[in-house]
Amino acid sequence: MDLTSSVGNKLVQGDELGYDRAKEVKEFDETKAGVKGLVDSGVTKVPRFLIHPPESLPNPMLSPATTHFQVPVIDIQGFEQSCRRMEIVDQIRKASETWGFFQMINHGVPLSAMDKMLEAVQQFHEQPKEEKIKWYSRDLKQPVKYYSNMNLLVSKEASWRDSISFDFKYGPLNLVALPLACRESVSEYWKHMIELSKTLKELLSEALGLSTDYLANIECMKPELFLCHYYPACPEPDLTLGTKKHSDPSSLTILLQDNIGGLQVLHQDNWVNVPPVHGALVVNIGDLLQLITNDKFRSVEHRVPAGRIGPRISAACFLNPSPARKLGPIKEFLSDSNPPIYRETHISEYAAHYTSKEGNSALSHFKLL
Ligand code: OGA
Ligand code: NI
Instruction: Give the mean model confidence (pLDDT) for residues 270-294.
Output: 97
pTM comes to 0.94
Give pLDDT, residue 126. Answer: 98
Would you place residue 67 in the very low, low, confident or very high pLDDT band (cuts 50, 70, 90)?
confident
Pocket of ligand 1 (CB under 6 A): 227, 229, 243, 248, 255, 257, 263, 302, 304, 314, 316
Give pLDDT, residue 4. Answer: 37
By most ligand atoms within 8 Å of CB, the mutation choice from 159, 251, 263 for ligand 1 is 263
Distance, CA 302 to ligand 2 centroid (Å)? 6
Indicate the DSSP class of residue 121: H
Which residue's CA is the closest to the ligand 1 atom numbered 6? Answer: 248
The answer on pLDDT for 8 being more than 60 is: no
Strand partners, 147: 163
Instruction: Give the mean model confidence (pLDDT) for residues 145-168.
Output: 95
Backbone phi and psi for residue 135, each to the nearest 5 degrees, phi listed first: -100, 0
The answer on pLDDT for 5 being more than 50 is: no
Which residue's CA is the closest to the ligand 1 atom numbered 10? Answer: 314
Ligand nearest to the CA of 229: 1
Residue 328 Cα distances to 217, 336, 339, 345, angstroms: 15, 17, 12, 7
The answer on pLDDT for 339 being more than 50 is: yes
H or E element in which residue 228 lies:
strand 222-231
Cα–Cα dist 146/131, whole Å? 11
Which residue's CA is the closest to the ligand 1 atom numbered 1? Answer: 316
Give pLDDT, residue 358. Answer: 66
Indicate the DSSP class of residue 170: T
Ligand nearest to the CA of 303: 1
Cα–Cα dist 270/306, whole Å? 18
Give pLDDT, residue 16. Answer: 56
- C-alpha angle with apex 332: 331 to 338, nearest 5 degrees? 80
The answer on pLDDT for 295 being more than 50 is: yes
The answer on pLDDT for 1 being more than 90 is: no
By most ligand atoms within 8 Å of CB, the mutation choice from 255, 266, 360 for ligand 1 is 255
Strand partners, 222: 320
Cα–Cα dist 161/243, whole Å? 8
What residues have CB less than 8 Å from 215, skipping those under 6 apart? 201, 202, 204, 205, 208, 221
Ligand nearest to the CA of 255: 1
Instruction: Give the mean model confidence (pLDDT) for residues 229-258.
Output: 97
Give pLDDT, residue 6. Answer: 37
Higher pLDDT, 18 or 27: 27
Distance, CA 106 to ligand 2 centroid (Å)? 23
3-state secondary structure of 315: strand
**Which DSSP string do the residues of 240-262 spell out, in sequence order?**
-EEEEEE--SSSEEEEEE-TT--
Which residue's CA is the closest to the ligand 1 atom numbered 5? Answer: 316
Q: Other CB atoms closer than 10 Å to residue 143's CB: what's the count?
A: 18
Give pLDDT, residue 12. Answer: 42
Ligand nearest to the CA of 165: 1
Give pLDDT, residue 359. Answer: 56
Would you place residue 2 in the very low, low, confident or very high pLDDT band (cuts 50, 70, 90)?
very low
Cα–Cα dist 19/51, whole Å? 13
Give pLDDT, residue 3. Answer: 35
Residue 156 Cα distances to 11, 26, 59, 152, 316, angstroms: 10, 14, 20, 8, 24
Answer whether the bond into residue 143 is a cis peptide, omega within 30°.
no
Which atom of ligand 1 is least distant from the CA of 231?
Answer: 10
